[in-house]
Amino acid sequence: MTDTNVITASPEGRARRSPTFTAGAIIVGLHLVLGLLTLVWTPYDPAAMSGGRLEAPSLAHWAGTDRLGRDLFALIMIGSRIALTVGTGAVVIGAAIGITIGLLAAFASRAMDDVLAAGLDILIAFPTLLLAMLIVASSDGASLWTAIVAIGIANSAIVARLTRILAKRVLRMDYITASRISGTSWLGVVAIHILPNIWPTLLVNLALQFGLAVIAEASLSYLGLGAPPPNASWGRLLQEAQGTVYTAPFGAVAPGIALVLLVIGINLLADGLRDIADPTRRRRR
Amino acid sequence: MSSLLSIEGLSVHAGGRALVTDVSFSVAPGERLGLIGESGSGKSLTALAAIGLLGDGLKASGSVLFNGKQVIGARDRDLVPLRGSTAAVVFQEPLTALDPLMRIGRQVAEAVRRRAKRDGRPKDDAVVMREVFSLLDQVALPQPERIAQSWPHKISGGQRQRAAIAMALACRPKLLIADEPTTALDVTTQAEILKLLGKLVSERNMALLFISHDLPVVANAVDQVVVLRHGRIVEQGRVDKVFQQPSHDYTQNLVSAARSFDDALEIAP
């Protein structure tokens, strides 16, 4: 394949040539399909005792049953939905707050920039778990929303710092000055030059943040700070299986596998996205 | 003839340090003025101050009348329309002067569209694209259709600089600021770009502010020169007079250095 052909290929064509993207898309797509399927169908009623207690995986129960005799595969499917919901919500919140603050900091005067940067450093140093506890404590109790907001705010600090650095680098370029001289307003500069130029890197970072958000959600749920029952989060499945890990190890292994698979899938997707999103990258191949 | 750009006692400070001190000159429509001096002598800063685009932490004082408006102390919002219709810049390094993630045609089209919007002219795609192709043609780019479809990193340095000039022309400026436009190019391309700039400036009766440290280049490109050193004007006047009978030591050094360099080239086999 010659260089020219790769350059002129459409984004879709490039996606086909990126095996990491394809692998990631298949894994994440599988989770998405299973998660969405739970809205209309699960193999068993996830709240009902559909088998014996702590059964091993079988044809009837693909992932076995938990200590209450509920079908684990149905619970894990619902866990996919919860994980993807929290991940999406957290990334949307993180991107909205983070990109806005990052751009403001990039354009701000030096004093204002220092204040924002210091604030972001403090927020980054603040553990997500502690932030989540604070938000849970100051609201009516743990819910899907407190988890999304807590993880989203923690995300936003990292996104903001990255946006600030990337935007500053673009702002130093002559084409920004040329554009300013020809009379483009700051908002125009952001829309026409800055966002398109920082988007590839930002997109990859957001995808990585998505993976981290999924892990953070599992940790919060494990500690009882995430979505309360009846939401079947992977973190809570792990926590519930902890007591019986020696008699029925698969109860702890199955949600773990689901979690690891999703995070790996997202990371592969992020890697593939970088190749696709940035047209200047391919000339170095 | 009233001048397009009139600078009186311009100084630029960074913190307590003076970078440009008491610089005065003016450019009339159709006039070509060269700002020369070594690196760090304040040439580019003077040009940026003239259009109110100094970076953070830099303070300008004095008076800059640009198209009859005071630039020093003006709010950025008031300067945007002034800049858009009056000035355009061609930079030294054409690679950073073009957005790497935008095809050439779209970059030029953005500039054409901005200008059309300001003039209240129609800006539908067909009209804009026709003007884009015409501009690419005016800067003597071969196969405008192909260039318009190219990414900046896929064309040569000389072609990039021509594309950057096309973008500058799209603004229909009264003043073209050329900040070392030929420094990053090889000698043959330099000569072509200079010829092109000279032709475009005289065709359109634009004023040209040409910034360079390269004396032979300046001598060919402008009528008047201002020699800067450490942010101060050491000499100014008609280019032939300044270069043939330099009155200041610094200018004499610059000229004799350029001469001996030329001589060395002629002696070489």
Chain B interface includes A3 (CB < 8 A) = no
Helix runs in chain A, H state only: 3-8, 11-17, 19-37, 72-107, 110-125, 128-138, 144-171, 174-181, 186-189, 195-222, 234-241, 250-277
Query: What is the phi/psi pair of residue B179, to 5°?
Result: -95, 95
For residue A194, give the chain B residue with the closest CA.
Answer: B99
Chain B nearest-CA residue for A284: B153
Rounded distance between C-alpha atoms, residue A230 and residue A232, angstroms: 6
Question: Does B53 sit within 8 Å of A181, measured CB to CB?
Answer: yes
DSSP secondary structure string for all residues of A178-225: HHHHTT--HHHHIIIIIHHHHHHHHHHHHHHHHHHHHHHHHHHHHTT-
A175 close contact with B: CB closer than 8 A: yes
Chain A CB contacts of B164 under 8 Å are 178
CA geometry: angle A163, A183, B159, nearest 5 deg: 85
pLDDT, tens digit (0-9, with 9 covering 90-100), for B14-44: 888 889 999 999 999 888 999 988 888 888 8
- Give the residue extent of every domain in chain A: 72-284
The correct CATH number of A72-284 out of 3.40.30.10, 1.10.760.10, 1.10.3720.10, 3.10.20.600 is 1.10.3720.10
The neighbour count for residue A129, using CB atoms within 10 Å, is 15
Residue B34 phi, psi (nearest 5)? -105, 135
Question: Could you report the per-residue pLDDT of A130-180, keeping only the tens digit for each?
Answer: 887 788 778 877 788 888 998 999 899 999 999 999 999 998 888 888 888
- Per residue in A113-123, pLDDT (tens digit) is 899 889 888 88
Cβ-Cβ contacts under 8 Å, A175 against chain B: 96-99, 107
Read off the pLDDT of each residue in A15-33 and give the average, rounded to a whole number.
86
Q: What is the pLDDT of residue A159?
A: 94
Please tell me the class of the B5-267 domain.
alpha beta
Asked if A99 and A270 touch (Cβ cutoff 8 Å), the reply is: no
Q: Report CB contact under 8 Å: B114, A196.
A: no
Contacts with A78 (C-beta within 8 Å, 6 or more apart), sequence order: A35, A38, A42, A46, A231, A232
- Residue A274 near chain B (CB below 8 Å): no
Region A25-38 average pLDDT: 91
Distances (CA, A) of B59 to B19, B49, B53: 10, 9, 11
Query: What value, to the nearest 5°, has the Cα angle with vertex B151 and ends B117 and A193?
Result: 45
Q: Does A114 touch chain B (CB under 8 A)?
A: no
Could you write out the three-class secondary structure of chain B? Answer: CCCCEEEEEEEEEECCEEEEEEEEEEECCCCEEEEECCCCCCHHHHHHHHCCCCCCCEEEEEEEEECCEECCCCCHHHHHHHHHHHEEEECCCHHHHCCCCCCHHHHHHHHHHHHHHHHCCCCCHHHHHHHHHHHHHHCCCCCHHHHHCCCHHHCCHHHHHHHHHHHHHHCCCCEEEEECCCCCCCHHHHHHHHHHHHHHHHHHCCEEEEEECCHHHHHHHCCEEEEEECCEEEEEEEHHHHHHCCCCHHHHHHHHHHHHHHHHHHHCC
Question: What distance in Å separates the CA atoms of residue A63 and residue A251, rounded to the nearest whole number?
Answer: 8
A201 interface with B at CB cutoff 8 Å: no
Its ipTM equals 0.70
DSSP A65: B
Chain A 38-57, CB below 8 Å of chain B: which residues?
none
- Cβ atoms < 10 Å from Cβ of A164: 24
Cα separation of A178 and B98, whole Å?
Answer: 9
Sheet with B69-70, strands from edge to edge, namely: B17-27, B5-14, B58-66, B69-70
Optimal mutation site among A174, A184, A280, interface B, most CBs of chain B within 10 A: A174
pLDDT, tens digit, for every residue of A201-242?
898 899 999 999 999 999 888 888 877 777 788 988 888 888
pLDDT in tens, A43-66: 888 877 777 777 778 877 777 788
Q: Which chain A residues in 82-111 lie under 8 Å from chain B, judged by CB atoms?
A: 109-110
User: How close, in Å, is residue A187 to chain B by CA atoms?
Assistant: 12
